[in-house]
A and B are shown apart, each in its own frame.
Chain A
Amino acid sequence: MSVDAKSVMEKNVVKNIKSIKINKKSKIEKNENLAGLLFVSPMLIGVGILTLLPIIATFILSFADWNFIMGITQINWVGLDNFKALFENEGFLKSVVNNLLFLLTVPITMIFSLLIAIVIDKHVYMKSYFKVAFFMPYISSIVAIAVVWQVLFNPTNGPINQFLFSIGIENPPTWIADPNFALISVMVIQIWASIGFNMILFLAGLQSIPKELYEAADMDGATAWDKFKNIMLPALSPTTFFLLITGIIGTFKVFDLIAVLTKGGPINSTTMLVWHLYESAFVDLKIGYASAIAVVLFIFVLIITLLQWVGQKKWVNY
């Protein structure tokens, strides 16, 4: 047998083995494909019908003039009119301003939460009591919380104003009944209710800092402030960034508190994007207009989410 013939034969054998392997492999692949699809299909179908389809519909509806009562054939396409109407609507503009003011709750909540987290991480006994205590508002329903605060804020009889009367303040603000104080009152409740969540995350961040870092700092004679600035803050930067982003997104979604406590009033002083959306869609039945608000909301959240993706890579490093 010539060398050539031998090598050809060898090649053929190798080819055969390969093709058998490929056959077997493709069968396994087929099985994997089927199994994979079966496992993920309930989620895909659910998300497809209840999220993807609706978000597309939201964009389409934002170009329409329509309400729930009219049939789908009565739909009237109005181009960008709904978006124009947004910028002429005082309720909408006020909502955007209020949403922006509401952003202040995020850093304030974070500062309080960080302080509490630092104190209960190392400097107290009964650590788990404190965790539960500050976490209580997070597990309580916003409806119950809002109702309790509504009574606490009662202008004449509420415990808060009674206390202010008793220490000699004659004209305390009427809180949620006063257009100048209503938004601040709601913000106070929001901060109070968000501290627990932020604190738990800061605590987790603090606990992940290796003890050796502090010990080394002690040996170098670092002050408490040095340790805070040079060890804690850098180590907590991913947590801080995460809380900032989720906090901001959270403020754009505030609804329960407004719906139960103020219904956007008095005189629109506490209206927010989602409340305005809800009122326009389900009270005024202006579907096209409300969908335009929904698009704006979506875009706000999208921008912040994109910032998060970019920022995470750049900023979070230690």
Chain B
Amino acid sequence: MEKKITLRKIIITIIAFVVSIAFLLPFIWMLSTSFKIEADVFKFPVEWIPTRWNGIENFKEVWLGQYPFALYYWNSIKVTVITTAISVTVSAMAAYGFSKVNFPAGKFLFLIVLTTFMVPQQSILIPQFILYRYLGLFDSHFGLILLGSFSVLGTFMLRQFFMGIHSDYIDAAKIDGAGHFRIFWSIALPIVRPAIATYAILRFIWTWNDYQNPLIFLRTDGLYTLQLAMQKFTSLNGEFYSLIMAAAVSAILPLVIVFIIGQKQVIEGIAMGGVKG
């Protein structure tokens, strides 16, 4: 009996594995094409392992050529890291204020923040654009960072965790004379650190992959983030598919690394709040 079940499990695993490979074929094709010479890209049957390797030249062209990915990587890293840091700080503070500080206006203010949650970001693009032009924030990394810094979603997520902290901890600290900033910094934050890590990773992924905001709020080539550069690169190199695939690999790779490192947090975070960017 036991053996039969195991055999069944092995067979199902093999079938599922085949399905998963089929599912991943676009990625496999992308990776293999990025190492090919252009003439081999559309050979059929597909050469999954390139016969003529041209990977170094392809990636060199992508990273140092006319649209230098090295620069866009730096732009993306800068924007993503700073956005993530500010967003986590602002959300954590607001989440603490809305859950652990008893002030009468709190409930009402929280309701206001809650209402903005259902505003689709695209329905406010035009006024944001006008406002940005007016304030001189248009076409700057600073402006782009600000757009991603005030996350209602992050506030909700972290608030759930702050609410889970027993009030006794906080009351005890108050009796010892600690103010809210002390309590926030040395008691509340350390307790919710896993949740902060989860939110930070998610925010990192969403900011890194954001295409719409850079498209609308950046104009200068030199300021492009990776996603925007990827699209410009594609329209410039229309027929050089091996280069385009090398660019696509470059655009996806950092996140695959972040994901593999923070896999547990990402999957748990998504499963927990059912959050979506």
Contacts and interface: CB of A to CB of B under 8 A. Distances in A.
A, B bound: yes
B127 A151 contact: no
B51 interface: no
Contact of A141 (B13, B103, B255, B274): B255
A163 B46 CA distance: 9
Interface in B219-277: 226-227, 230-231, 234, 241, 244-245, 247-248, 251-252, 255-256, 258-260, 263, 266-267, 270-272, 274, 276
A189 to B, nearest CB: 9
A124 B9 contact: yes
A223 B12 CA distance: 19
A19 interface: no
Interface string A52-80: 11110110010000001000000000000
Given A35-B179, A250-B276, A145 B26 contact: yes
Q: Which range holds the interface residue count of chain B?
A: 35 or more
Contacts of A111: none
Contacts of B155: 43
Chain B CB count within 10 A is highest, among A29, A44, A135, A259, for A44
Interface stretch (A7-15, A81-89, A93-101, A274-282): A274-282
A39 B101 contact: yes
Contacts of A147: 230-231, 234, 244, 247-248
Interface string B158-178: 000000000000000000000
Contacts of B119: 51, 55, 298, 301
B59 interface: no
Q: Which range holds the interface residue count of chain A?
A: 35 or more
Contact of B209 (A42, A52, A141, A278): A141
Nearest to A141: B209
20 contacts: A32-B103, A36-B101, A37-B103, A39-B96, A42-B93, A51-B119, A54-B124, A120-B16, A132-B259, A133-B24, A140-B256, A141-B208, A144-B247, A147-B248, A192-B26, A243-B274, A259-B211, A278-B125, A298-B123, A301-B119
Given A124-B12, A274-B122, 11 more contacts: A49-B131, A55-B124, A61-B127, A123-B13, A134-B23, A147-B230, A148-B29, A166-B44, A256-B212, A259-B211, A294-B123
Interface of A: 29, 31-33, 35-40, 42-44, 46-47, 49-55, 57-58, 61, 68, 119-120, 123-126, 128-136, 139-145, 147-152, 154, 157-159, 162-163, 166, 192, 195, 197, 200-201, 203-204, 239, 242-243, 246, 249-250, 252-253, 255-256, 259-260, 274, 277-278, 281-282, 287, 290-291, 294-295, 297-298, 301-302, 305
